[in-house]
Amino acid sequence: MGAIIHNSMIKSPPKVHLIDYGVGNLWSVASAIRYLGAKVDIISDPDKISNSSILILPGVGSFRKGMEALRNNSIDQAILHAVRDNDSKILGICMGMQLMGSSGTEDGQTLGLGLIPNTVDRFSKEKLDGKKVPHVGFNEVNFNERSGLFRDFSTTHDFYFTHSYRMLVDGLNGNYATCSYGETFLAAFQVDNICGTQFHPEKSQTNGILLLRNFLLN
């Protein structure tokens, strides 16, 4: 692991807005952010989301239900406004990352937020070679880039996954990290102010804490 930067340059602790759309466990993500000494507010009001400068989109469940929950409350438009017009940074975690894609096939074909062009599909059965789905547990993530979201990481680190659907790397125009489970899939990415992790940084010990710190430092 590279040299850890010192915190003396920090003017004031960042304030993170965690998007609550009725899907997923917000508690653990909030705890990890607080551990780092940053502030967390859990919000669902689209106006507040529009005006937030640091957003985290968590999520567990099916792609279709997730997108429906975002659309029903106009949270999708608020996120797009914050990220595209205000340059707010956003981190999607697990299904939150998947929802950033252009579409998903879980529970029927559904359009995503379209922040990145990638699509979300089930793990390819032929390539799994008897491996079980969902993919659950700590697995190795390979980093090509060591800057931004991936600052202070070396080539391989373990992160906690639990998912049945995945995105592939093709078409992504930015920095990324990959994991292998039958096939190589997208484990984490950063395209300017837009970040995502298929794994759960809040469940991945210091590896995840470091990644969350990087997201806030960015």
Partner 1 sequence: MLKKRVIFTLLYDDGFFMLSRNFRLQKVGDLKWLKKNYNFSKLSFSIDELVVLDVTRGKRNQDKFLDHVRALSEECFIPIAAGGGIQDIVYAHQLISNGADKIVINSLISQNIKTVQHIASELGSQCIIASVDVKKIKNDFIVFTENGTKRQTFSLDDYFYKLMNVPVGEVYLNSVDRDGTAQGYMQGLIEQIPGNYKLPIIISGGAGKYQHFMEGIKNERVDAVSTAHLFNFVGSSLKEARFELLNEGLALAKWDMSICESMQGFFECESNTKG
**Residues noted as catalytic:** 94, 200, 202
- CA dist., res. 210 & res. 215, Å (int): 9
Binding mask 117-136 toward partner 1 (x if CB under 8 A, else -) reads: ---------------x-xxx
Minimum CB distance to partner 1 smaller for 194 or for 210: 210
Burial 96-106 (b: 16+ CB within 10 A, else e): bbbbbbbbbeb
Of 126, 216, 141, 147, residue with least CA distance to 186? 141
Does position 37 interact with partner 1 (CB under 8 A)? The reply is yes
Does position 47 interact with partner 1 (CB under 8 A)? The reply is no
- CA dist., res. 150 & res. 210, Å (int): 9
- Provide, rounded to whole angstroms, the least separation between the CB of residue 151 and partner 1: 13
- Provide, rounded to whole angstroms, the least separation between the CB of residue 22 and partner 1: 11
Residue 90: left if φ>0, alpha if ψ -120 to 50, beta else—which one? beta
Residue ranges in 135-154 that form contacts with partner 1 under rule CB under 8 A: 135-140
**What one-letter code names the amino acid at 122?**
R
Does position 36 interact with partner 1 (CB under 8 A)? The reply is yes
Q: Which stretch binds partner 1 (CB under 8 A): 30-38, 40-48, 82-90, 113-121?
A: 30-38
Does position 213 interact with partner 1 (CB under 8 A)? The reply is yes
Minimum CB distance to partner 1 smaller for 17 or for 213: 213
- Provide, rounded to whole angstroms, the least separation between the CB of residue 24 and partner 1: 9
Q: Which of 51, 102, 162, 184 binds partner 1 (CB under 8 A)?
A: 162
- Cβ atoms of 159 and 205 closer than 8 Å: no
Residue ranges in 59-88 that form contacts with partner 1 under rule CB under 8 A: none
- Cβ atoms of 185 and 169 closer than 8 Å: yes
- CA dist., res. 14 & res. 175, Å (int): 23
* Other beta carbons less than 10 A from residue 35's beta carbon: 12
Q: Which residues bind partner 1 (CB under 8 A)?
A: 1, 4, 7-8, 10-14, 25, 27-28, 31-32, 34-38, 132, 134-140, 157-158, 160, 162, 181, 202-210, 213, 216
